[in-house]
Amino acid sequence: MASLPEPALPDAPLTTPKPAARIKRFTVTERVLHWMHASAFLALLATGMILYLPALSTLISRRQLVRGVHLWVALAWAVALLVILVVGNRTRLAEDWREIETIDRDDRRWLRGRKAPQGRFNAGQKINALLTIAFALLFALSGFFLWLGERDHRFIFAGTGTVHDALTFVSIGLLVGHLYLALIHPSTRHALRGMTTGEVDEAWAQTHHAKWVEAERTSSLS
């Protein structure tokens, strides 16, 4: 006796994967400050290298124009920084500073290469931020005296140019490391999303910034 055909089963409904949960990491003020500083630094680096390297200076052959651009970009950076500090989210920037200047026991363990939970900024990012602030102040101070010394020889101090040049080359090293971690290194390049959209995947944040994620969850429940 022929068997009856089995009834066709309905196709399983198609399910779309849920988007990864996101967590807010940086405000608009923080992102504007970051990109403003990065843009100014790259412009200052480009014009500064043209002034410093004879081959580039000869190739461009507009030394006075490049010098003027260098000075005006430096002035625009200072004005933009002041504007952001005045009209931006000062509360959040103050929170950033308190966290950055605090190197706790977990940070020291992390710097020694041991596994330790990190806050919104890990220990390496804190060190980088502190160096960036210190270098910016030293760049501004040494650059001001270089500019002033050209106009009044009483303000020419030995070593000012050397300090300015040394800061440039150390900054290039820091920039290369920063770009590698932000654009190439697989476990850290997701952090760039935080500086573009303000948000990062919560799972990634849990892995790399567990103390911050836990603090955010505790704050949302209170």
For the chain, 222 residues long, give each residue's pLDDT as a single digit of tens: 555 555 555 555 555 556 679 999 999 999 999 999 999 999 999 999 999 988 888 888 888 999 999 999 999 999 999 999 999 999 999 999 999 999 999 999 999 999 999 999 999 999 999 999 999 999 999 999 999 988 888 878 888 999 999 999 999 999 999 999 999 999 999 999 999 999 999 999 999 999 999 999 887 776
**How distant is the alpha carbon of residue 197 from its chain centre?**
14
Distance between CA 182 and CA 184 in Å, rounded? Answer: 6
What is the rounded distance in angstroms from the CA atom of residue 195 to the CA atom of residue 204?
Answer: 15
Quick one: residue 50, left, alpha or beta (phi over 0 = left, psi -120 to 50 = alpha)?
alpha
Which pLDDT score, from 0 to 100, does residue 5 have?
A: 57
State whether residue 113 is helix, strand or coil. coil
Comparing C-alpha atoms, which of 122, 84, 116 is closest to residue 100? 122
Where do we find the tokens 């910016």? 136
Helices (H), 184-209: 191-196, 202-208
The pTM score is 0.87
Enter the CATH code of domain 23-195+202-209: 1.20.950.20
Do 96 and 133 touch, CB atoms closer than 8 A?
no
pLDDT of residue 32: 98
Q: What pLDDT score was predicted for residue 8?
A: 56
